[in-house]
């Protein structure tokens, strides 16, 4: 129908490809209309009417909310294959990067599918659901509240505490972090569902990417609410971190060391825990400083180690371990 628009229907105008374009087209068509004179209205000829109909239908097809509804329908039908559903989830994640469409996703019922996707037997659906949730809720109070009401906090914690693949766990942790950071009500649900204990167990996975994200989330939460250090004290976080540090040295130890340092700063009770003789932390820190002293790739861990020695054991020969 493009030819019709060019010859008699559109007067040489290009087909508008969005609502703003259509508005501009209509404005241009009426710009010279003199509203003080008698109307010269002439009924639109059939060819032009058909052209305008096709424009409106084309714009409707490009409506992102309708596109999301179509993808949600795909997700809800058992007949669709896994590849089709994965593409639909990827499309949805792209759409909801816009704040208004993220809110619309909830309004059109999208949240009803999320827990089922997190618990899917298909890894590809699980981790894509994690990505979708993270995009929906990040810095979005409306969607954070909607996710809380849907029960996504305990659902994500359950995925973290399951035997899911490292990729699924990583995406679930990403979604959980996006959901509860700067959101006190979400953090309340996180604590009620034993979230801190699950994070401790998640650190034992040995997956460095996951460990980094756990350490980052712990630090972010404690920076928001310093009283969370009390919770971590009560669940034995100091013991867990020191136990991890006693294992064979790897690149992950930088993150264990950093988490321990943050945990004890400005927290006398956690400092006292670290000084318990049975933990043998003083000896560990001294030997670790010696081990990595001249290794450039471990300089950040060395700095954490030195600060812990001064903070916890100053006066117990700590100064001698700080010379490079």
Q: What is the pLDDT of residues 151-174, one digit of tens each?
A: 999 999 999 999 889 999 999 999
Q: What is the pTM of this model?
A: 0.76
DSSP 244-287: HHTSSP-TTHHHHHHHHHHHHTT-HHHHHHHT-GGG-HHHHHHH
**Out of 2-16, 34-48, 152-166, least confident range:** 2-16
- pLDDT beyond 60 at 21: no
pLDDT per residue as tens digits for the range 211-220: 889 988 998 9
Q: Which is more confident, 101 or 79? A: 101
pLDDT at 211: 87
* pLDDT confidence band for 24 (50 / 70 / 90): low
* pLDDT confidence band for 208 (50 / 70 / 90): confident
Q: Which is more confident, 250 or 10? A: 250
Spatial separation of the C-alpha atoms in residues 305 and 288, rounded to whole Å: 8
pLDDT at 229: 96
Spatial separation of the C-alpha atoms in residues 160 and 195, rounded to whole Å: 9
**Considering the domain 194-324, what is its CATH architecture?**
Alpha Horseshoe (1.25)
Residues 212-233, mean pLDDT to the nearest whole number: 93
pLDDT at 55: 56
Spatial separation of the C-alpha atoms in residues 99 and 105, rounded to whole Å: 10
* pLDDT confidence band for 23 (50 / 70 / 90): very low
Average pLDDT, the chain: 85
Q: Is the dihedral angle over the CA atoms 204, 217, 135, 185 positive or is it negative?
A: positive
pLDDT at 317: 55
Spatial separation of the C-alpha atoms in residues 272 and 98, rounded to whole Å: 48
- pLDDT beyond 60 at 1: no
- pLDDT beyond 90 at 50: no
Q: Which is more confident, 29 or 138? A: 138
pLDDT at 57: 54
* pLDDT confidence band for 74 (50 / 70 / 90): very high
pLDDT at 320: 47
Residues 110-119, mean pLDDT to the nearest whole number: 96
When mean pLDDT is compared over 57-66, 194-203, 206-215, the highest value belongs to 194-203
Long-range CB contacts for residues 153-159, cutoff 8 Å, separation at least 24: 153/179, 153/180, 153/186, 153/189, 153/190, 153/193, 153/195, 154/189, 154/193, 155/114, 155/115, 155/118, 155/119, 156/118, 156/130, 157/190, 157/193, 157/194, 157/195, 157/198, 159/118, 159/119, 159/126, 159/130
* pLDDT confidence band for 80 (50 / 70 / 90): confident
pLDDT at 251: 87
pLDDT at 13: 44
Residues 265-291, mean pLDDT to the nearest whole number: 97
Please, where in the chain does CATH 1.25.10.10 lie?
63-192, 194-324
Spatial separation of the C-alpha atoms in residues 268 and 159, rounded to whole Å: 34
CATH of span 63-192: 1.25.10.10
């Amino acid at each position: 129908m493009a030819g019709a628009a060019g010859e008699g229907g559109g007067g040489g105008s290009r087909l508008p490809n969005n609502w703003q374009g259509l508005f501009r087209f209509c404005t241009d068509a009426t710009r010279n209309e003199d509203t003080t004179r008698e109307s010269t209205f002439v009924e639109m000829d059939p060819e032009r009417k058909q052209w305008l109909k096709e424009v409106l239908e084309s714009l409707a097809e490009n409506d992102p909310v309708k596109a999301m509804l179509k993808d949600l329908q795909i997700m809800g039908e058992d007949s669709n294959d896994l590849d089709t559903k994965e593409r639909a989830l990827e499309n949805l994640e792209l759409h909801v990067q816009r704040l208004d469409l993220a809110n619309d996703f909830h309004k059109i019922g999208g949240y009803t599918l999320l827990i089922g996707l997190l618990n899917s037997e298909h890894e590809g659906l699980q981790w894509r659901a994690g990505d979708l949730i993270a995009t929906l809720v990040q810095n979005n109070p409306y969607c954070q509240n909607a996710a809380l009401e849907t029960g996504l906090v305990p659902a994500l914690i359950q995925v973290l505490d399951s035997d899911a693949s490292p990729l699924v766990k990583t995406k679930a942790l990403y979604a959980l972090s996006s959901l509860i950071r700067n959101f006190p009500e979400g953090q309340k649900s996180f604590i009620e569902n034993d979230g801190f204990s699950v994070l401790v167990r998640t650190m034992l996975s040995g997956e460095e990417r996951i460990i980094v994200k756990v350490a980052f989330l712990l630090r972010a939460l404690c920076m928001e609410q310093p009283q969370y250090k009390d919770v971590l004290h009560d669940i034995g976080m100091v013991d867990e971190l020191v136990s991890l540090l006693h294992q064979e040295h790897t690149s992950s130890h930088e993150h264990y060391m950093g988490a321990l340092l943050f945990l004890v700063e400005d927290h006398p009770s956690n400092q006292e825990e670290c000084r318990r003789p049975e933990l043998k932390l003083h000896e560990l820190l001294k030997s670790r400083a010696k081990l990595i002293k001249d290794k450039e790739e471990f300089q950040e861990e060395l700095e954490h180690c030195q600060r812990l020695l001064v903070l916890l054991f100053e006066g117990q020969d700590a100064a001698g371990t700080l010379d490079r």
